[in-house]
């Protein structure tokens, strides 16, 4: 079966990485306009680097959980699996998932806003860091901010439209274009989440509960 999976922050919540919109979530602690927009970065790059440095440190201390591991095992099995994530953490990789499509970028990568060069980010980044390619002091996390276009959208739309099964895991479906991908699905659709998302009605089937319990059980049934 061709299975296309989209994950969100909920899949990493039980690894200790905060989600965005839940109680105590990142966007209840920080103003996203200050730390997750190009305008915020232009206004105060040090504030933005501090925010992502803290998330990078948190991610480096975290470990993949049973949901990440079950998805990696599924991809290693007989099904043709495409794994797309909105998450910028590297827990899918560390769980052994090959070829994860990061539509919102990667916390562990850096980007030069001047020449577009990309490289592995140091744990701590600062506005003084020169670009290794052009030496400009315009380095930023390689993360897609609000108002910017997500990466790999053509491949993502293709993978969703041609799937026999499209599954969204651990996302509130509040942010587009990710939240609209279910509309492109021509096969079966399944939502796995702690609770119904904002687009729950668009899915054929639902499974609710913590990702570390529901995802391994679902994968075991499939395998
Ligand atoms: N297991 C399963 N689902 C969970 C768990 C869990 N343990 N904990 C939380 N959830 C669910 C919540 O119910 C919520 O629906 O995960 C979802 C997290 O939603 P958000 O915090 O909105 O995160 P996400 O949907 O990934 O955000 C999308 O928004 O802020 C931007 O770019 C950022 O990629 C992010 C995008």
Residue of 5, 7, 8, 12 best suited for mutating to test ligand 1, as the one with most atoms within 8 Å of CB: 8
**The predicted structure's pLDDT at residue 65:** 98
| Residue-by-residue DSSP string for 7-75 | E-GGGTGGGT---SSSTT-HHHHS-HHHHSSHHHHHH-HHHHHHHHHHHHHHHHH----HHHHHHHHHH
For Cα atoms 101, 105, 111, give the angle at the middle one, nearest 5 degrees: 130
Average pLDDT of the segment spanning 17-45? 97
- Provide φ and ψ at 106, rounded to 5°: -140, 130
pLDDT digits (tens, 9 = 90+) for 70-81: 999 999 999 999
Which of 49, 92, 102, 104 does the annotation list as catalytic? 104
The atom of ligand 1 lying closest to the CA of 86 is 34
pLDDT of residue 26: 97
104 catalytic per annotation: yes
What's the pLDDT tens digit per position in 108-146? 999 999 999 999 999 999 999 999 999 999 999 999 999
- Whether residue 201 is predicted with pLDDT greater than 90 in this model: the reply is yes
The answer to whether residues 34 and 61 touch, using CB atoms and an 8 Å cutoff, is: no
């Amino acid at each position: 079966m061709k299975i296309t999976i989209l994950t969100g922050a909920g899949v990493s919540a039980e690894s200790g990485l905060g989600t965005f919109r839940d109680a105590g979530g990142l966007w209840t602690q920080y103003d996203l306009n200050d730390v997750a927009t190009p305008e915020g970065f232009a206004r105060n790059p040090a504030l933005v680097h501090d925010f992502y440095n803290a998330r990078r440190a948190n991610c480096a201390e975290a470990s993949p959980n049973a949901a990440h591991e079950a998805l990696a095992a599924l991809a290693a099995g007989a099904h043709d699996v495409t794994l797309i994530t909105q998450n910028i953490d590297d827990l899918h990789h560390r769980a052994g998932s090959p070829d994860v499509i990061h539509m919102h970028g990667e916390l562990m990568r850096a980007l030069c806003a001047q020449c577009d060069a990309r490289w592995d980010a140091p744990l701590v980044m600062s506005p003084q860091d020169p670009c290794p390619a052009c030496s400009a002091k315009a380095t930023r996390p390689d993360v897609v901010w609000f108002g910017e276009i997500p990466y790999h959208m053509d491949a993502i739309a293709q993978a969703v439209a041609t799937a026999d099964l499209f599954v969204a895991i651990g996302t509130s479906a509040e942010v587009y274009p990710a939240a609209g991908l279910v509309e492109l699905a021509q096969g079966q659709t399944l939502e796995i989440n702690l609770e119904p998302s904002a687009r729950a009605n668009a899915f054929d089937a639902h499974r609710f509960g913590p990702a570390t319990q529901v995802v391994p059980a679902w994968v075991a049934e499939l395998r």
